[in-house]
Structure 1
Amino acid sequence: MNRPFKSGLLIAVGLTAVLALSSCSMLRQYLPGGHDQSAQSSQSNPDASSSQKSEEYTLQGTLNQIDTDLKYLVLISDDLYFRFDFSESDADLSDLAPGDSITVTYTGPLEPDSEDVTAQLVSVTKDA
């Protein structure tokens, strides 16, 4: 191969790599629980990641299922299914039934329509 062709090929490969990496970091801000700043801060400060994990969020929807054996509940909101782990929660779920309108407070990232349970239930309130 001639020298100008090799140089052009190297530049094209380099630009492709830069674009791929930048698009990955840009997509991270749209994923649940994913932000560029959180990834950078948790690497430099281990305490920062634990404080972000404990940040609480709320979501309102319809109770679909409570699995007492596997310790998770399923909430439907905007036609998406969300699973919440209640194995470490003190929330009282005894008076809840499928079809109830509820608001959950949780920590951790949500994975809509996923079999994985990544969000931790903090509390549940039954809506009127």
Structure 2
Amino acid sequence: MRRKTCTRALSLLCGLALTAALAACSGGAPAGTQAQPQESQQQEAKQELTATVNQVDSDLGYLVLVTEDGYYKLDLNGVDVSGLEPGDDVTATYTGTLSTEDEGEELSAKLTAIRKN
């Protein structure tokens, strides 16, 4: 009888240890701390750029717009651009920082909306 009790107690302790390990691996931070980064992303300032479409590449996920100041490459960020063609005048709403097409491959400007003018 004592052996069964020890086996059950050991099984219970192993189960509790496994549960604690899984909770630690899942990043079990309180819900309030996880919401803060999302809120700061939503509060990121949206900006607008009036420009002409130079290139749309849905497969690679970017859009190139041209203004008097130069060419700008934006991450499509899941925005539907299927109706846009080179030469269309648009107003693009984006977050992040615009960089010229020549400044590298990393896109920090993310498109949030676009409309034809």
1:110 is aligned to 2:98: yes
- Please show how residues 1-128 of structure 1 align to structure 2 within 5 Å: 50-51=40-41, 54-86=44-76, 88-89=77-78, 91-113=79-101, 114-116=103-105, 117-127=107-117
Note closer, same or farther for the CA distance 1:106–1:125 as it changes in structure 2 (3 Å cut): same
Note closer, same or farther for the CA distance 1:112–1:122 as it changes in structure 2 (3 Å cut): same
- For residues 55 and 43 of structure 2, the distance between their equivalents in structure 1, rounded to whole angstroms, comes to 25
TM-score normalized with structure 1 length: 0.54
Note closer, same or farther for the CA distance 1:53–1:66 as it changes in structure 2 (3 Å cut): farther
RMSD, matched Cα: 2.2
- Give the 3-state SS of the residue equivalent to 1:106 in structure 2: strand
Q: Measure how far apart 1:58 and its partner are.
A: 0.2
The letter for the 1-side match of 2:82 is: S
Deviations 1:71-101 (A, max 9, x none): 0000001141111101x33x32111100100
TM-score normalized with structure 2 length: 0.59
- Give the aligned partner of residue 32 of structure 1: none
- For residues 113 and 41 of structure 2, the distance between their equivalents in structure 1, rounded to whole angstroms, comes to 19
- For residues 43 and 68 of structure 2, the distance between their equivalents in structure 1, rounded to whole angstroms, comes to 24
1:53·1:108 contact (CA, 8 Å) conserved in 2? Answer: no
| Structure 1 unmatched ranges of 5 or more | 1-45
- For residues 94 and 51 of structure 1, the distance between their equivalents in structure 2, rounded to whole angstroms, comes to 26
1:53·1:107 contact (CA, 8 Å) conserved in 2? Answer: no
The letter for the 1-side match of 2:81 is: L
The letter for the 2-side match of 1:122 is: T
Paired-residue identity, %: 40
- Give the 3-state SS of the residue equivalent to 2:87 in structure 1: coil
